[in-house]
């Protein structure tokens, strides 16, 4: 009986995690976005020239954004002790309320390991992700 409970619990937890992952909001870093809103050359590491370089932030949501703007808060992560220090905020101000995906071209001038938080117009964090920017 205990074995059945453990197996059933395991299967339930697995199903919940798979369902949550399938319908979760995601921040992608990529070299482009196709016309259906999927990342082109998605990566977590980008190499930029010393004068700066860009790539795209792509947000995909399982629901409509319900905001006309969001912001991306960028924090540099110290790779020694993993503390975060504020770097900058990038505003994405041209959204429509019913969008479920959208992208923003972002230029970086400094290499580093960044933690990017996507924050909606109500101050709620939609999701976050890490990206590494390095010199060519």
Three state DSSP letters for the chain? CHHHHHHHHHHHHHHHHHHHHHCCCEEEEECEECCCCCEECCCCEEEECCCCEEEEEEEECCCCCCCCCEEEEEEEECCCCCCEEEEEEEEECCCCCCCCEEEEEEEECCCEEEEEEEECCCCCEEEEEEEEEEEC
Residue 2's pLDDT is 58
Architecture in CATH for domain 25-135: Sandwich (2.60)
Q: Write down the pTM of the prediction.
A: 0.83
Between 34 and 7, residue with greater pLDDT: 34
Query: Mean pLDDT across the stretch 87-101?
Result: 98
Query: Mean pLDDT across the stretch 1-17?
Result: 46
At residue 23 the predicted structure's pLDDT band, cuts being 50, 70 and 90, is low
pLDDT in tens, 30-77: 999 999 999 999 999 999 999 999 999 999 999 999 999 999 999 999
Does the pLDDT value for residue 88 go beyond 80? yes
pLDDT in tens, 116-126: 999 999 999 99
Domain chopping of the chain, boundaries = 25-135
Residue 1's pLDDT is 58
Does the pLDDT value for residue 110 go beyond 60? yes
Residue 122's pLDDT is 98
């Amino acid at each position: 009986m205990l074995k059945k409970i453990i197996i059933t619990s395991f299967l339930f937890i697995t199903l919940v995690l798979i369902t949550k992952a399938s319908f979760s909001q995601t921040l992608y870093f990529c070299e482009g976005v196709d016309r259906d809103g999927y990342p082109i050359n998605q990566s977590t590491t980008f190499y930029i020239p010393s004068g700066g370089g860009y790539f795209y932030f792509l947000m995909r949501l399982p629901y409509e954004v319900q905001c006309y703007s969001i912001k991306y808060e960028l924090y540099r992560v110290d790779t020694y002790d993993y503390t975060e220090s504020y770097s900058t905020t990038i505003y994405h101000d041209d959204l429509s309320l019913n969008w479920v995906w959208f992208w923003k071209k972002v230029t970086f001038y400094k290499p580093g390991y960044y933690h990017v938080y996507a924050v909606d117009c109500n101050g709620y964090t939609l999701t976050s992700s890490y990206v590494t920017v390095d010199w060519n």
